[in-house]
Amino acid sequence: MTHVEVPSAAMAIDPTDPEGAIAAAAARCSNWGRWGADDVHGTLNFIDDAKRAAAGRLIRRGATFSLSQQFNMDGPQKGWRRRTNPLHTMLDTGTEAQAGIQGFPHGLGGADDVVTMPLQCSTQWDGLGHIFDHGHAWNGRPAGDVVTSAGDRVTGIETAADRIVGRGVLLDVGRVFGTDGELPDGFAITTEHLRATIDDHHLAGAVGTGDIVLVRTGQLTRAKREGWGDYAGGDAPGLSFTTADWLHDTEIAAIATDTWGFEVRPNEFDVAFQPLHQVAIPNMGLFLGEMWDLDGLAEDCATDGVYEFFLTAAPIPVTGAVGAPVNPIAVK
CB 165 within 8 A of CB 55: yes
User: Cα torsion at 125, 130, 132, 135 (round to 10°)?
Assistant: 160
Instruction: Report the alpha-carbon distance of residue 79 to residue 87 in Å, rounded.
Output: 13
Per CATH, domain 18-78+118-331 is 3.50.30.50: yes
User: Cα torsion at 265, 270, 276, 281 (round to 10°)?
Assistant: 110
Strand 287-290, strand 254-257: pairing: parallel
Residue 210 backbone dihedrals phi, psi, to 5 degrees: 85, -5
Predicted pLDDT of residue 206: 85
Facing residues of 147 across strands?
Answer: 152
Predicted pLDDT of residue 4: 46
- Three-state SS letters, 234-303: CCECEECHHHHHHHHHCCCCEEEECCCCCECECCCCCCCCCHHHHHHHHHHCCEEEECECCHHHHHHHHH
Give 148-155 contacts, CB < 8 A, sequence gap 24+.
Answer: 150/320, 151/319, 151/320, 151/321, 151/322, 152/127, 152/128, 152/320, 152/321, 152/322, 153/320, 154/40, 154/129, 155/40, 155/42, 155/127, 155/128, 155/129
Instruction: Report the alpha-carbon distance of residue 176 to residue 283 in Å, rounded.
Output: 31
Instruction: Report the alpha-carbon distance of residue 222 to residue 174 in Å, rounded.
Output: 11
Predicted pLDDT of residue 198: 97
Residue range(s) in the chain whose domain bears CATH number 3.50.30.50: 18-78+118-331
Q: What is the pLDDT along the chain (332 residues), one digit of tens a residue?
A: 344 444 444 468 999 999 999 999 999 999 999 999 999 999 999 999 999 999 999 999 999 999 999 999 999 999 998 999 999 999 999 999 999 999 999 999 999 999 999 999 999 999 999 999 999 999 999 999 999 999 999 999 999 999 999 999 999 999 999 999 999 999 999 999 999 999 999 996 789 999 999 999 999 999 999 999 999 999 999 999 999 999 999 999 999 999 999 999 999 999 999 999 999 999 999 999 999 999 999 999 999 999 999 999 999 999 999 999 999 999 99
Predicted pLDDT of residue 9: 40
Instruction: Report the alpha-carbon distance of residue 78 to residue 233 in Å, rounded.
Output: 9
CB 254 within 8 A of CB 43: yes
Instruction: Report the alpha-carbon distance of residue 261 to residue 274 in Å, rounded.
Output: 8
CA distances from 223 to 89, 182, 320 (A): 26, 11, 32
User: Alpha carbon 179 to chain centroid distance?
Assistant: 23
CA distances from 302 to 65, 175, 200 (A): 14, 9, 11
169 membership: H or E segment, kind and range: strand 165-171
Q: Which of 311, 47, 61 is nearest to 167 (CA)?
A: 311
Q: What is the pTM of this model?
A: 0.95
Reading phi first (left if > 0) and then psi (alpha if -120 to 50, else beta), residue 157 is in: alpha
Predicted pLDDT of residue 12: 80
Instruction: Report the alpha-carbon distance of residue 143 to residue 320 in Å, rounded.
Output: 14
